[in-house]
Every structure is written in C-alpha cells, then in structure tokens.
Amino acid sequence: MSTLKRFFQDTLIYGFATVFPRLMNFVLVPLHTDILPREEYSVNTIFYVWAAFFNVLLTYGMETSFFRFFSKSKDKNLVFSTSFIALTASTILFAVSVFVFQDQVIQLLDLQPFYFQLLFSVIVLDTLVVVPFAYLRATGRPIKFAGIKILNVLIYFGLNYYFLKIVRNYPSLAPDVVLNNYEIQDIVGYVFIANLAASGITFLLLLPYFFRTKINFSFDIFKQMWKYGWPIMVAGIAFVVNENLDKILIKDMVSDEVMGAYAGCYKLAVFMTIFVQAFKMGAEPFFFNHAEKKNARETYAVILKYFVICGSLMLLILVSFIDIFKELLIKDSEYWMAISIVPIILLANLFLGIYHNLAVWYKLTDRTRAGMYISIFGALITIAINILLIPVIGFIAAAWATLLAYGGMMVVSYFFGRKYYPVPYNVKKISFYLILSVGLSIVCFLYFREQYIVAVLVNLVFIATVYLMERKQLAKIISS
C-alpha cells in the first residue's frame, strides 16, 4: 500500500473517531438550543471555554512532545513512562492546589460552585488519559482509539438526551433517586454531569495503561520534552484565546443573549472544525513517522493540496445550503440573528487547517518557539480587533477577528517554512481552489440564498473543475 494511501486510510479511521463525537455533539445542538434559554447556553459555552483553557495548560505540550520523541527514540517504553509519570504527577499537584484554593478559583472563573466542581473533575480525568490516547495513536491502533472515543460520546449523548428530554418530559420513566434530585431550573448542570460520566468511564477503560509501564522516569528525557513542549503549550493557550475570547467579550460587552446566539450559530461551522481536527489526528503522528523518508516533503505537499480541495468543497456545500442546516440544527429562530458569522468562521477554520499543515516545518526542525510566536501573533490580532470593534459593529467583529488571526498565522507560517523547511507546495493550484470556492460561496450567500438548484449546480461546477485538474494524480493514488 502506498504511503499516501495508508495516510488517507488511517486519517479516515481517526477522522471517524473525531467526526462521530463531534457529529453527536452537533445533533445535541437542536436539543440544547431548544431547551436552554440563550443565557443558559451562554453558561454552557463558558464552561467549555474554561475546560479548553485548562486542557492546554495541564498537558503543557506533552502530547505533541510524546509523538516527537516516541517516533525517534530507541527506548520507546522509557518515553512513554516518563511522559506518563510527568503528566500524572503534575495533574495530581494541580488537583491538590485547586482543592486548597477553590474559593478563589471559583470567584475567578465566575462559575457556580457546583459547576466548578464538575469542571474540575472533568479536566482532571481528561488530562490523565492524554498519554494513553497518544500511545494508541503513535503505535498505530486507530480502531481501539476510535472505539473508546465513540463510546465516550455515546454516553455523553445518551445522558444529555435522558436528562434534558426523557426525565424532563416523561418523569414516570425516571427512578425516584433521579426525580428527587432533579431541578428543572438548573437544567444546564445536567449537560456537565453527562460530560463527567463520559470522562469517568473513559478513564476506567484506559486504566490498564496506568499499570503497563514500569516506574521508570528519565529526567533527561523529560527536560528535552519540556523544552520542546512548553512553546506548544503557550501556542495552545493563544489558540484558546483565538477560539474563545470573542464569546467572553460579547458576553461582557453586549449581552448573555447575544453571546448565546453567537455561540449557537458558531456551532454551524462544526463540520469544518471536525474535518480539520480529524485531519490533525491522523496527520500529526504521520508527519513525525514519515519525516526520514526520501520523498517526505513531496508527500506533505500533496497532502496539503488535497486537504485544501476537500476543505474548499466543504466550505462551498455548507455556505450554499446554510439555510437547510440552520433550520435542521437550530430550532429556535432567536439564535438566527447571528447566522452571518457562519461563512466567515468556516473560512477561518479552513485557514486554521492549512496552518496545521504548514506547521510541519517548525515541529520537524524542533523550532516550536516559532510556532508559539506565530500563535501569539494570531492571539494579538484577535484581542485587538475584538476589543476595538465589538463596541462599534457588534458580534460580527469577532468573526472577522477569527478569520484575520488564522489567515495571518497561515501566511506567516508559510513564509517562515520556505526558509527553514522548504516543501514544494503547489501554491498556484491551492490558491485557485481557495479563490474559486470562496467566490462561489459569496455568490450563493449574497445572491442565491435558498435557491437550491443554483446551489447544486455551483457545487457540481467545483467538483467537475477538481476532477478535470486532478484526475491523473487521483488515479495513481487509488491504483497504488
């Protein structure tokens, strides 16, 4: 099997493991937006903003460091045990510290104490399983990885539906122990309880990996992993700022209701997010494992081209059929006030995916500080535009800030990559596909909304163009 074919196969498996959970979360959007008032949806959003921040902080780049050192080390068990022991010890230290200072932390996060306790438990459990999950990916076990991820989301989805739909509307089907503690005015809390249950069961399933390693810690390896990983942590925090500062500022500068509508419509971009995340899950270990191959750079160039083709088609489909997705997934029309952000956020996430491709240069040359600086650059764009323009033009400024931040990161990374790790990207073709997709999307969104015959024809034009330009190379990949 060819290298590219194997890459696409593994990415499909990892992609499914990512797509299915996100898809289930997407299915929950109508349930959440239908039952939760916009101000409670705002609370739900803030909960997961903090979860994302602490996830980055507590893993401190260890996941990517693990792939880097696991792929090139002769003693892979020592790399596993060192990273596992380090992450477990730091998580326990974090848990003790938060327990001691929980009153101050609760005040800082602006969450109810019960919500904070749930958040704290979820992030501890999720951090403890980072290395076991990374080990499954690094050792080529996508099926097991996917199975556990899918079970996690089935539990989360099932309990969401149970608490928000069944217990709420059919109390006779719920046992007394649930009914006696069920509070309809605190309905958003059950979303967080479902998350905790899913994280707890995932932890139990991966518990055997806690005992598969000998207590063998290399301080020298840890220092190298820390040196490689801490800039990735800072870059991750900058990414959290890019993704979530807009929601916090809209909540403070405008209102909880507007932020809830913005966050709800933001979810319509989830298909692009899924695509980007699925690609990253398969690509990151592949890039490291393939780095020493003779044709590595040519392979990376081909991967980026097809990533852009698929992402551009997804952008066009989602924008041209946006009103169908809107009515299917967001039942409450009060949320639709923010629908104009969706095309902008879709393109922003496509730029982010291109940036993840281009980031191969600093990860393979151990220049992770460059990645940190680029991410900080993006975060500064996000902060400046949001603070300056949200009071002037409202929530739409936040969407443009996201697009400009990721677009700026993409461009800067490309030019630095040409210097330190040149890859023969076909910039002309990639630019052509992007411009064609964006142009057709603008036409559909501004002039042909809900005209679905036009939407179908526009998508067929794009697909036919790609086929005519790529048919020879596609045939080689498929037949190899």
Reported as a single tens digit per residue, the pLDDT across 170-185 is 887 788 777 777 776 6
- Looking at the predicted structure, is the pLDDT value of residue 480 above 60? no
Q: What is the pLDDT of residue 415?
A: 93
- pLDDT bucket at 7, cuts 50 / 70 / 90: low
- Looking at the predicted structure, is the pLDDT value of residue 197 above 50? yes
Q: What is the pLDDT of residue 22?
A: 62
**Distances from the Cα of 142 to the Cαs of 13, 139, 282, in angstroms?**
6, 9, 9
- pLDDT bucket at 465, cuts 50 / 70 / 90: very high
High-pLDDT (> 90) share of the chain, %: 26
Contact 306, 363 (CB under 8 A): no
**pLDDT tens digits, residue range 54-107?**
888 888 888 878 877 887 777 888 888 888 889 889 999 988 888 888 888 888
Coil/strand/helix, residue 31 = helix
d(CA 227, CA 169): 53
Q: What is the mean pLDDT of residues 299-318?
A: 91
Q: What is the mean pLDDT of residues 30-40?
A: 71
pTM of the model: 0.72
Helix or strand holding residue 237 (H, E): helix 219-253
- pLDDT bucket at 15, cuts 50 / 70 / 90: low
Q: What is the mean pLDDT of residues 21-39?
A: 69
**pLDDT tens digits, residue range 339-371?**
889 999 999 999 999 998 898 888 888 888 888
Two tokens, residue 333: 């029309």
- Looking at the predicted structure, is the pLDDT value of residue 403 above 70? yes
Which ranges in 102-218 belong to alpha helices (H)? 102-109, 113-128, 130-138, 142-161, 167-169, 176-179, 188-206
In three-state form (DSSP H/G/I as H, E/B as E, the rest C), the secondary structure along 361-399 is: HHHHCCCHHHHHHHHHHHHHHHHHHHHHHHHHHCCHHHH
Q: What is the pLDDT of residue 1?
A: 43
Among 179-188, 229-238, 377-386, the range scoring the smallest mean pLDDT is: 179-188
- Looking at the predicted structure, is the pLDDT value of residue 393 above 80? yes
Contact 284, 64 (CB under 8 A): yes
Between these two residues, 124 and 23, which has the higher pLDDT value? 124
Q: What is the mean pLDDT of the chain?
A: 83
Q: What is the mean pLDDT of residues 263-274?
A: 80
- Number of domains the chain is built from: 1
User: How many Å is the maximal CA-CA distance in the chain?
Assistant: 67
**pLDDT tens digits, residue range 366-381?**
888 888 899 899 999 9
Residue-number span of the structural domain to which 102 is assigned? 3-479
* Apex 408 CA angle, 402 and 411, nearest 5: 140
* Apex 34 CA angle, 33 and 37, nearest 5: 65
Residues in the chain: 480
Between these two residues, 443 and 64, which has the higher pLDDT value? 443
Q: CA 450: distance to chain centroid?
A: 29
Between these two residues, 317 and 261, which has the higher pLDDT value? 317
- pLDDT bucket at 17, cuts 50 / 70 / 90: low
**pLDDT tens digits, residue range 94-144?**
888 888 888 888 887 777 888 888 888 998 999 998 888 888 877 777 778
Phi, psi angle pair for 394, to nearest 5°:
85, -155
Q: What is the pLDDT of residue 442?
A: 94
**How crowded is the C-beta side of 401, counted as CA atoms within 13 Å?**
29
d(CA 187, CA 183): 7
**Distances from the Cα of 9 to the Cαs of 137, 140, 311, in angstroms?**
14, 12, 18
Contact 159, 201 (CB under 8 A): no
